[in-house]
Copies of this chain bind each other. A is one copy, B any other.
Amino acid sequence: MTGAGKDSDSDPVSQQELDEATLQLISSIAAAIRKSIEQGELPHIELPVRSLANVDYAVEKGYFALGKALKTRTLSVNTVRSFAQTLRLMAASRQMVQSNDFATKREAYYISKNWGECRFDEQAESDAIMDDIEALASLHGLSREQLRFYPESHGGSVAGALTVIDTDPETAEVLEIDCANLGSGAYSVPRSVEHLGFRTDAQFILAIETGGMFQRLNNHRFWKKARCILVEMGGVPTRATRRFIRRLSDSADIPVYCFVDCDPYGFANIYRTLKVGSGNAAHINQFFCVPRAQYLGVTPQDIIEYKLEDATHPLSKTDIKRARDAIKNDPFFASHPRWIAAIEQLLSMGVRAEQQALAKWGLNYVIDDYLPRKLKDMDSFLP
């Protein structure tokens, strides 16, 4: 078992240490502002620039990373509201860390309704300021979840050879959740996973696009034969799903194999988001991307090798545009010749195939033939 907070480029730290670092960060910003005021200066906060101009694709790290550019928010007539809002959101964060509570982004917007003139009028306002604070905290290795602002969406469902170690939020008693013992059901990952520990002897994590395929592999106990952990992504994985997979993969030191539909959305939206994150939210990628993810399938070559041609669908205009964009404009795909070749192969075939198309050969062909054969031929995985 490994405790919370281990990231690939830092030593494991405990939830308590992370909480102390969070409180320390907020206090130091507040102290600097107070000092400015006491010295008769206009107070200011330095925040990372979040525009794409300040984002680089860090090949060695394997993700889009925030650059070093900073913007300065100085107190003025024009900024007085956003300045006050930034401080109040940080104060709310401090209080939640101290009381072991949390707020969703929506709740964070609503609590401002009691802030008098610095209340938020729209959630877009509170989200923008929260993004600023999140980007600032990210420079100190702290995620938004550490600040106790949680996303609305929970993580995916999980089943297999894994014990999740949590604590009762009320009594602090240690709880062990055996994900091999949930029958046809599964473990639903909470909105923040920073505090979870893991114990497993699984060989890999299988991240699955569709719920139907997850249910099939779970009902037939595929995870037992293959010694793996099943995670249902349900389309593009949520923050909580991504962070869960990342922390589990780091903690257990096991790879992540992605099993998604063979279409440009599966490649460029689902797989790429999981593996390298996105340029638009570069400040979060250090916590959320999963550089160890590999693409098991369905690959364009699989359509040929598993004779799925008559269970495909024609590529739509959107599919074609997305595929061309990926090859041309996306530094992740552009840096991998095997991905370029695979996407070009798909474009020349003009069709897409869903993972459930394997049912053409029988409902459990995927379990009895496809997955075992793919797992023995890892060279067929895409990077």
A→B interface (CB under 8 Å): 96, 101-104, 106-107, 110-111, 113-114, 150, 152-154, 157, 164, 166-170, 175, 177, 181-192, 195-196, 210-212, 214-216, 218-221, 224, 232, 310-311, 354, 356-364
Query: Residues of B contacting A177 with CB < 8 Å?
Result: 181-183, 185
Q: Does A190 lie within 8 Å of B184, measured CB to CB?
A: yes
B183 touches A164 (CB 8 A): yes
**Inter-chain contacts of A110 with B (CB < 8 A):** 311, 354, 356-360
Q: Which residues of B contact A168 (CB under 8 A)?
A: 183, 221
Contact check, A170 vs B224: say whether CB atoms are below 8 A apart: yes
Query: Quick one: closest B residue to A165, CB to CB?
Result: B183
CA distance A96 to B220 in the complex (A): 13
- Counted per complex, copies of this chain come to 2
**B150 & A107 in contact (Cβ 8 Å cutoff):** no
Q: Is the CB of A211 within 8 A of B191?
A: yes
* 7 pairs of A and B residues whose beta carbons are closest in the complex: A166-B183, A104-B212, A188-B188, A110-B359, A184-B190, A157-B188, A186-B188
Q: Using Cβ atoms and an 8 Å threshold, which residues of chain B touch A232?
A: 154
* Contacting pair B170 A107 (CB below 8 A): no
Residues B183 and A175 in contact, CB atoms below 8 Å apart:
yes
A107 pairs with B184, CB closer than 8 A:
no
Task: Find chain B residues with CB under 8 A from A187 CB.
Answer: 182, 185-188
Once the chains bind, are A364 and B101 in contact (CB under 8 Å)?
Answer: yes
A-B residue pairs in contact (CB < 8 Å), sample of 27: A102-B216, A102-B219, A103-B359, A104-B215, A104-B356, A106-B354, A107-B212, A110-B311, A110-B354, A110-B357, A111-B359, A114-B360, A150-B212, A152-B211, A154-B157, A154-B186, A154-B211, A154-B215, A164-B185, A166-B183, A177-B181, A177-B182, A177-B183, A183-B196, A184-B195, A185-B187, A185-B189
